[in-house]
A = this chain, B = another copy of it.
Amino acid sequence: MADRDVQFQKMAIVGVGLIGGSLAMVCRQKGLAKQIVGYGRRLENLKKAVKLGVIDRFFQDLHETVKGADLIVLATPVGRLEALAREMASAVSREAVVMDVGSVKGDLVARLEEVLPNSSRFVGTHPIAGKEKTGVEAASATLFSGALCILTPTERTDPSALESVKAVWEAAGARLVLMDAARHDQILAAVSHLPHLVAYALVNTVLETRVQGQEVRSFSGGGFRDFTRIAASSPEMWRDICLLNKDPLLGMIEAYEKTLARLKELIRQGNGKGLEMEFERAKEVREREGEWTAS
């Protein structure tokens, strides 16, 4: 039996990719859901999800998917969430618990609350987990084990819906942190969205660089390669994140530009002492990482 005696009759996964698929696998393994159904854009992917046992069946009709579901997980790229919620709204039961798993919360949570038939049954969630590979083939019931999952209930949220969502994420082995959606977006702009943007900018700068007329990217052993891994993330997902978390991200880019300008000025001045102090500070973070990994 599941933790806290939560069991759903019909769990609907809208977007059966890495995150949605992994959560389905958790719920099946822990007996949290009797039936698990999926919906998605790519038929091939949905067939694979059935074959892998991640979902019991799929629908190509969104209303069919969510009808009668008592747990609905929205796991598409964040840019599609509002339109999908609007499209499914008339078929969603007022009792259904609805959660998203998107990397942006703020305004999006507010808009989903507006669009869904019963805002009190919606809970925004964001598991900070992922891997380089995407798609249901990469899904795993252990993906969230030990990972941080941020929940952003609002004043409208029904405590019993929140408890259900907590039970799902606890079954996944995630460490839960509750905070308001705006704070989530500011924190993630700093620790996730800015790093990705910085990596995209670095990779494209190196791609555009010519030395004596030749490309330089073949000399990729010296630091560049670490960035190409981060910059290999889904363009669609990161486009949506940039657009939906615009203001916090722009604020972080400006803070970053200032730090970079400071380092540039130290180099220009030939200020070795100043540079070494900056680099020492950055290095200490790594050494102290064990101390402050959120737990």
On A, residues with C-beta under 8 Å from B are 79, 103, 128-129, 147-148, 183, 186-188, 190-209, 211-212, 216-233, 235-236, 238-240, 242-243, 246, 249-250, 252-253, 255-260, 263-264, 266-268, 270, 272, 275-276, 278-283, 285-287, 289, 292-294
Contacts and interface: CB of A to CB of B under 8 A. Distances in A.
Contacts of A128: 219, 221-222
A201 B239 contact: no
A285 B203 contact: yes
Copies per complex of this chain: 2
Contact of A281 (B186, B207, B279): B207
Given A148-B219, A243-B272, 7 more contacts: A190-B206, A190-B209, A201-B259, A204-B259, A207-B282, A235-B280, A253-B263
A147 B275 CA distance: 29
B243 A285 contact: no
7 contacts: A129-B221, A191-B222, A191-B223, A194-B206, A195-B226, A226-B226, A236-B276
The residue among A225, A249, A279 with the most chain B CB atoms within 10 A of its own CB is: A279
Nearest to A127: B221
A138 to B, nearest CB: 16
A187 B219 contact: yes
B222 A192 contact: yes
B183 A239 contact: no
Contacts of A252: 205, 209
Contact of A239 (B191, B231, B279): B279
A268 B253 CA distance: 11
B219 A286 contact: no
B222 A272 contact: no
A288 to B, nearest CB: 9
Contact of A190 (B186, B211, B235, B289): B211
